[in-house]
Amino acid sequence: MIEDTIAAISTAVGEGGIAVIRVSGQDAVPTAARIFRSKSNLMEVDSHTVHYGHIVDLKTKETVEEVLLTVMRGPRSFTAEDVVEISTHGGFISVKKVLDLILQQEGVRAAEPGEFTKRAFINGRIDLAQAEAVMDLIRSKSDRAFSIALKQVDGKLSRMIKALRGQVIELLAHIEVNIDYPEHDVEEMTSNYIREQCSKVIEQLDGLLKTADEGKILREGITTAIVGRPNVGKSSLLNALAQENKAIVTDIPGTTRDVIEEFVSVGGIPLKLLDTAGIRETEDVVERIGVERSRSALSDADLILFVLNNHEPLHDDERRLMDELSHRPVIVIINKTDLAGQLEIEEIENRFPQESIVRMSVLEEEGMDRLEAAISSLFFSGKLESADLTYVSNARHIALLKQAKQSMMDAIDATYNGIPIDIIQIDVRTAWEQLGEIIGDTAGDSLIDQIFSQFCLGK
């Protein structure tokens, strides 16, 4: 039982017309009732009801704010404790004043970052994977990332992990029986059984890890390199995409004059755009660093936007680049269609499929819709779009899934190497613990503290 009551501003500071203060704990309702003047008597109202009234300063008897106050009694609340949420419509100063009035009362203290979510976890309302999903929700960069996180809050990943652990525990029980009754002489049968069951679990782990690759794409954005010779319009394209699609994040630190990054959402697909310097051989040292950066950006890219100038014949550099790019996910952009055509279009059409060639004029803002369509169809040709999969996208979860898979493979190896069953059991148990760490069943206190400390205040 957690004794103290916590309070914090739960909405982003300085934004929006209203701010919400959240109070959670056994004293939440009496604490709020003391400073709330209203027709409703908070101590007697039903759970999940909203009340209009005023917050007063008990010392000065002054009215501080006009508020709407929501009472949610545990366990049917976010933290599973009694929760009061106070919606104020004033600016930061009056919100802060209301919070101060609450914090002045006995038994109430300011919440630490993530503490509301941590309480939901401690009180068994959500598991660790769900708590992390809440954090991802707060941070998610795109609609798709948001819906993945939402599914995890829903507990879909957790349910799958629990089912997997169920299979592992069954295997453990089976091994246990064999250890307890070795005279049954079922060593060989047990070895076979271990291999079979471990393989089954590995198969499912692989399935989850496969979605992890896709989840990563969606979470961080599809790394997209814009390449081409100088002056073809790469920067113009980047700016056009950023403007039309409202850049979500800009000014990534560590970028140089040659590669800048920009997060944009194109038709709901998050792209991390890299604008690379023109790819060409050069003697200039500074320029060469730029080119090397471009090449590494190129090798890291999930998607390449290869820009050509409609107004000029193909350059040798561009022919070389076409060779390099022929087996990569690439969209060839023939830019500057507003100018007279000098480019050998046929040569390009012979090298790249029709659907991956887009004609446009960035200057005249013509053809942007075709580019967006080409990007969507390349990535959501059924595979990603239709999948009702639970994406594993959290780096910690991915690492643990990989470790669990390794433990399972170790167990299989051990059966071939004549290792005693009670030693093999250790690998299986390790896998069970690693899976448990994902949902917080076997996670240590320090890990839990560390995860929750990453939350922002008020969540």
Annotated binding site for GTP: 231-236, 250-256, 275-278
Token code pair at residue 234: 């790469």
Chain position carrying tokens 């850049």: 247
Binding site, by residue number, is 22, 85, 125, 231-236, 250-256, 275-278, 459
Over its C-alpha atoms, the chain yields an Rg (Å, rounded) of 29
**Nearest approach, Cβ of 339 to Zn ion (angstroms)?**
18
Residue 458 contact partner, candidates ligand GDP, Zn ion, none, CB within 5 to 8 A by sort of partner: none
Task: Return the number of the residue (149 or 242) whose C-beta is nearest ligand GDP.
Answer: 242
Dump the DSSP string for 148-161: HHHHHHHTHHHHHH
Residue whose beta carbon is closest to Zn ion: 235
**Nearest approach, Cβ of 303 to ligand GDP (angstroms)?**
18
**Nearest approach, Cβ of 260 to ligand GDP (angstroms)?**
11
Task: Return the number of the residue (186 or 289) whose C-beta is nearest ligand GDP.
Answer: 289
Cβ–Cβ under 8 Å, residues 442 and 192: no
Backbone φ and ψ of 308, nearest 5°: -120, 155
Binding site for Mg(2+), by residue number, is 235, 256
Task: Return the number of the residue (79 or 335) whose C-beta is nearest ligand GDP.
Answer: 335
Give CA–CA dist 397/216, Å, rounded.
12
Residue 338 contact partner, candidates Zn ion, ligand GDP, none, CB within 5 to 8 A by sort of partner: ligand GDP
Q: Is 246 exposed, middle or buried (0-12, 13-18, 19+ CB in 10 A)?
A: exposed
Give CA–CA dist 77/70, Å, rounded.
11
Residues 6+ apart with CB under 8 A from 170: 197
**Nearest approach, Cβ of 231 to Zn ion (angstroms)?**
8
Binding site for K(+), by residue number, is 231, 250, 252, 255
Q: Return the HEC string of 350-384.
A: HHCCHHHEEECECCCCECHHHHHHHHHHHHCCCHH
**Nearest approach, Cβ of 257 to ligand GDP (angstroms)?**
12
Q: For residue 222, what are the β-bridge partners?
A: 271
**Nearest approach, Cβ of 364 to ligand GDP (angstroms)?**
6
Give CA–CA dist 41/104, Å, rounded.
21
Size of the site for Zn ion (CB under 5 A): 2
Task: Return the number of the residue (220 or 317) whose C-beta is nearest ligand GDP.
Answer: 317
Binding to Zn ion in span 198-237, by CB under 5 A: 234-235
What does each C-alpha distance from 84 to 16, 57, 321 come to in angstroms?
A: 20, 18, 61
Task: Return the number of the residue (24 or 335) whose C-beta is nearest ligand GDP.
Answer: 335
**Nearest approach, Cβ of 314 to ligand GDP (angstroms)?**
15
Task: Return the number of the residue (75 or 230) whose C-beta is nearest ligand GDP.
Answer: 230
Residue 40 contact partner, candidates ligand GDP, Zn ion, none, CB within 5 to 8 A by sort of partner: none
Task: Return the number of the residue (129 or 301) whose C-beta is nearest ligand GDP.
Answer: 301
Give CA–CA dist 451/459, Å, rounded.
13
Helix (H, G, I), strand (E, B) or coil at 408: helix
Residue 249 contact partner, candidates ligand GDP, Zn ion, none, CB within 5 to 8 A by sort of partner: none
Residues that bind ligand GDP (CB under 6 A): 228, 230-236, 335-336, 338-339, 361-363
CA dihedral 242, 246, 247, 248 (to 10 degrees): -160
Task: Return the number of the residue (342 or 450) whose C-beta is nearest ligand GDP.
Answer: 342
Residue 363 contact partner, candidates ligand GDP, Zn ion, none, CB within 5 to 8 A by sort of partner: ligand GDP
Binding site for (6S)-5-formyl-5,6,7,8-tetrahydrofolate, by residue number, is 22, 85, 125, 459
Helix (H, G, I), strand (E, B) or coil at 2: coil
Task: Return the number of the residue (144 or 234) whose C-beta is nearest Zn ion.
Answer: 234
Residue 361 contact partner, candidates ligand GDP, Zn ion, none, CB within 5 to 8 A by sort of partner: ligand GDP
**Nearest approach, Cβ of 235 to Zn ion (angstroms)?**
3
Taking CA 56 as the corner, what is the angle to CA 50 and CA 58, rounded to the nearest 5 degrees? 130
Residue 282 contact partner, candidates Zn ion, ligand GDP, none, CB within 5 to 8 A by sort of partner: none
Residue 242 contact partner, candidates Zn ion, ligand GDP, none, CB within 5 to 8 A by sort of partner: none
**Nearest approach, Cβ of 294 to Zn ion (angstroms)?**
11
Chain position carrying tokens 């109430």: 108
Dump the DSSP string for 259-327: -EEEEEEETTEEEEEEEPPP----S-HHHHHHHHHHHHHHHH-SEEEEEEETTSPPPHHHHHHHHHHTT
Interaction site with Zn ion (CB under 5 A): 234-235
